[in-house]
Amino acid sequence: MIRFWPILALVACAILPWTPGLPSFWVSLLNYIGISSILVVGLVVLTGIGGMTSFAQASFMGFGAYASAILSTRYGVSPWLGLPAAIVVAAVGAATIGAVTLRLRGYYLALGTMAVSVSLYFLVANLDFFGRNDGLSSIPPLMLGDYRLTDGRVYLTLVWAMLVAVVVATNNLLDSRLGRAIRALRGGALAAASFGVNTTRTRMLAFVYAAVLAAIAGWLYAHLQRSVNPTPFGLNASIEYLLMAVLGGAGHVGGAVLGALLVTVINDLLQDFLPKLLGQRGNYETIVFGMILLGVLQFAREGLWPHVFRGRVQRREIASAPPLNRRARPVGGSAILAVDHLEKRFGGLVAVNDLSFAVGVGEIVGLIGPNGAGKSTSFNLITGVASPSAGTVALFGQPITGLPPPAIARHGVARSFQHVKLVPGMSVIENVAIGAHLRGQAGALAAICRRDRAEEAQIFAEAARQLDRVGLGQLADRPADSLALGQQRVVEIARAMCLDPVLLLLDEPAAGLRHAEKAELAALLRRLRDEGMSILLVEHDMEFVMGLVDRLVVMDFGIKLAEGPAEQIRRDPAVIEAYLGIA
Amino acid sequence: MDSTIAAILVQDGIVNGAIYALLALSLVLVFAVTRVVFVPQGEFVAYGALTYAALDTGTLPGSLWLLAGLGAAAFLAGLAQRRPIFGLALSSLVLPAAIIATSWLLVPSKPGILANALLSLAIVTPIAPYIYRIGFQPLAEASVLVLLIAAVAVHLALMGLGLVFFGPEGSRASAFSAASVSVGDFSLSGQALWILGLTGALMIGLYGFFGFTLLGRALRATAVNRLGARLVGIGTAQSGSIAFTLAGAIGALSGILVVPLTTVYYDSGFVIGLKGFTAAIIAGMASYPGAVLAAVLVGVLESFSSFWASAFKEVIVFTAIIPVLLWRSLRHAAIEDDDE
């Protein structure tokens, strides 16, 4: 039943407009609700899921509307061809704005689009090409053969069928390799980057996708209204769409439709009621909308959707699939990671000073030291989070110094985080699947058309295998944030294993674990080593480290204090002094 | 274009730029202390301008009732946040009442420019901390994105309220002084001198406040490290409230300075505020001297583009942001993590 909802919805789109007694006023309102919903679905992907916001969505709608209007009115192009034109124009516009803002912090996109939106409004309102403030009229209607789509009821079918298609496409996109990357942007951008996700490109994908949906909405609007002018594409309209997304539930595709419905209806009621109350005409509804928006942010930040429709935990079926390609395994005996004279200065402070050590294939090396010894900084230098002031890091003799995290992931280095970084809204197995990001190729279009299913099955089979391997297979469908901290740390290891790494870097994996959990973790790491994995771990917990590692590197005040087997380190006078002070 | 026109344009640009500089300063200040992108800054400009214009004609401004209403709302919000009732009543009920009473007594006698300006500041400024208490304090721990959307919500509500309390007609006030100073070929109007003088004085005042007073240093501490500031006893809510009060006062003052130059409508503030933002963005939302310099550039760019292509002046000013963002993009590495 749930699987076939799009077909049922399409049938409803065709029949319901012909309900006897449906007032034409409602037909027109429902047309606008459908058009707004299409735009707001894009905003949900961008803002609620991707964690960015744009105040140019109405402008992108205008791109679509004006592109099709100009082509069909002035050049006699078929209005149907206006749709691809609308999409291309909006996508190019979004890509341009995105290129200059998406590498910067989040509020630059918001403020940049705000300025662009005002700028475009005045541009269109002052150029003859766009018909200035009056806009363009007598736009030809859409045609089916010789039939003109001018009846609001017929148009209603078109609008809502498009909305169904957009919702299906969006759900498909979100449930894909790139979709998981978009969902990881909010709260887990660094983690995603550490598994090879190009976060700037992922942000761009979400932004362009949202703009394309806005353009589709604009195209529908132009040929429904049959005239366009700058006002409905201004900044205030963009703000109203944002209100729809936030009120309905910015994290849910369904929230877009709910929000568009509520805001459109409330807007209509207020525009009737408020001028009567206040005795003059004006945009008084903005007061109420401002207050609603503020109230939602304070009391129901997730919007209304989660309160109306409680999501159920969905079980993901894991089909058996051929295994993903694996990278060549290193042969034993050689050094896999070589850190050579590494140095990091913060102003006058030398956090890491002349650090050199190596990790051999199939070896567990522990990096230990008192607080402030420079362990975490060294870890950040190796994983590409920070770049060293001097020295080199090499993998199989190949330098990887200063490479960004995605590039380091591509070399087969996987990591975990001291402060667990799982995407809260996603299930455990989806989080683990992010680890396999680099082992798939499917792009956005393939995802939207569901041409990525074979690859997805492989990715999830691998994720399930790694979850079973760490002993958390039964928790696969639980939301990641519902797990205990210790379990979340283990999920991070499963995610790291999904990269098919040659080297595993673990940042304090035993922190916050109970005694029995530590023993299990140690057993797991030994098992991985015996299968040929090389592991470097930064750790505080001496008891955990002593029984596990092959070799220890001890740091204090940024320099290497000692290196050797655990037993030897335990007796080293310099190490004892650093940890216990001089007796 | 000859040098006289150019000189006039530069002068115009610097005068407007001074206003944008004030706004940019307060935007940077509010963002640093509270992480709020203060979109409603422009509404304070409009409120200040329209309040002053009403006082200038000897009528009671509508913002008085807005002040009383928002004060009452802030009182209720404060009760919900369990603040001590005495101080709360004093700041959000007694203060507006006192301001209304003073205005009622003073205004009919047209007390003069200075009294009108001070009264306008007194009426408009408290609205900002009320807004902070109602809208932003409950969200203090939210992400920058949520705070930004809240700021847009407040902008929307305040703009609508501006329409209710000031009406759709624009207003203009008489200049502070009719005098003008001639230097060689061109003359400087009295209003321009007032704007430049007051802006300069205010900047020096702010510099002293942040550099040498305990309160100013507390605000800077909050801006650098919120948690650390709280641990040493600087209240986040208090800092936020002070930052908003300063921003409200700066906004209102900008409005008072601008309304003798141009007709201001209830919704004019937003575009003026957005030019302050343009300057603040050019300065990276962080540097105070950078923001002032950028604001003057924005003002000069605006005055030259209104001479050459007046219909496209806003287009040119707001598009100028794109190359700046591009330059920043190319200079900075991609941000991998979230902004908090």
Kindly report the CA angle at A570 between A565 and A574, in degrees rounded to 5?
105
What is the residue extent of each domain of chain A?
5-17+24-308, 335-580
* Amino acid identity, position A146: D
Is B215 part of the contact surface with chain A (CB cutoff 8 Å)?
no
Q: What 3 state SS string does A370-434 have?
A: CCCCCHHHHHHHHHCCCCCCEEEEEECCEECCCCCHHHHHHCCEEECCCCCCCCCCCEHHHHHHH
Distance from the Cα of A125 to chain B's closest Cα (Å) equals 9
* Strands of the A534-538 sheet, one edge to the other: A413-415, A503-507, A534-538, A364-368, A551-556, A559-564
Is the model more confident about B2 or about A183?
A183
* Amino acid identity, position B133: R
Whether the CB-CB separation of B307 and B9 falls below 8 Å is answered with yes
Whether the CB-CB separation of A297 and A246 falls below 8 Å is answered with yes
Please state, in angstroms and rounded to a whole number, the distance separating the CA atoms of residues A72 and A230. 18
A279: left (phi over 0), alpha (psi -120 to 50) or beta: left
Per-residue pLDDT of chain B (340 residues; tens, 9 = 90+): 678 888 888 888 999 999 999 999 899 889 988 889 999 999 999 999 999 999 999 899 999 999 999 999 999 999 998 888 898 999 999 999 999 999 999 988 888 889 999 999 999 999 999 999 999 999 988 888 899 999 999 999 999 999 999 988 889 988 887 777 777 666 778 888 888 999 999 889 888 888 888 888 888 888 888 788 888 877 888 889 999 999 999 999 999 999 998 899 999 999 999 999 888 888 877 778 888 899 999 999 999 998 888 889 889 988 888 888 888 878 766 555 544 4
Whether the CB-CB separation of B52 and B229 falls below 8 Å is answered with no
Q: What are phi and psi of A340, to 5 degrees?
A: -130, 115
CB pairs under 8 A between A and B: 165
CA-based radius of gyration for chain A: 28
Please state, in angstroms and rounded to a whole number, the distance separating the CA atoms of residues B62 and B160. 13
Q: Which residue from B minimizes the CA distance to A115? A: B318
Whether the CB-CB separation of B163 and B60 falls below 8 Å is answered with no
Chosen CATH of A5-17+24-308 out of 2.60.40, 3.90.1200, 1.10.3470, 3.40.50: 1.10.3470
Residue A482: which residues within 8 A CB-CB, separation 6 or more?
A: none
CA-based radius of gyration for chain B: 20
Distance from the Cα of B331 to chain A's closest Cα (Å) equals 10
Q: Is the pLDDT of residue A347 over 50?
A: yes
Q: Which residues on chain B are in Cβ contact (under 8 Å) with A246?
A: 149
Q: Is the pLDDT of residue A193 over 90?
A: yes
- Condensed to tens digits (0 to 9), the pLDDT of residues A124-178 reads 999 999 999 999 999 999 999 889 998 989 999 999 999 999 999 999 999 999 9
C-alpha dist (Å) from residue A386 to A346, A348, A446, B87: 11, 17, 35, 48
Whether the CB-CB separation of A556 and A523 falls below 8 Å is answered with no
Instruction: Give A242-255 as a DSSP string.
Output: HHHHHHH-TT-HHH
Give the three-class secondary structure for A336.
strand
| Mean local confidence (pLDDT), A547-558 | 90
C-alpha dist (Å) from residue A249 to A1, A262, A482: 24, 12, 21
Q: What pLDDT was estimated at residue B340?
A: 40
Query: For tokens 């001018």, what's the residue?
Result: A150
Distance from the Cα of B185 to chain A's closest Cα (Å) equals 35
CATH T-level fold of A335-580: Rossmann fold (3.40.50)
Model ipTM value:
0.90
Q: Which residues on chain B are in Cβ contact (under 8 Å) with A114?
A: 274, 277
State whether B148 and A53 contact (CB < 8 Å). Answer: yes
Q: Which of A47, A105, A114 shows the shortest C-beta gap to B335? A: A105
Q: Which of A99, A294, A301 shows the shortest C-beta gap to B135? A: A294
What is the residue extent of each domain of chain B?
3-169+191-331
Q: Which of A55, A115, A200 shows the shortest C-beta gap to B318? A: A115
Please state, in angstroms and rounded to a whole number, the distance separating the CA atoms of residues A85 and A67. 7
Q: Which residue from A minimizes the CA distance to B267? A: A283
> Which residues 262-321 of chain B have a CB within 8 Å of chain A?
271, 274, 277-278, 281, 285, 311-312, 314-315, 317-319, 321
State whether A112 and B277 contact (CB < 8 Å). Answer: no
b/e code A52-81 from CB counts within 10 Å (16+ = b): bbbbbbbbbbbbbbbbbbbbbbeeeeebee
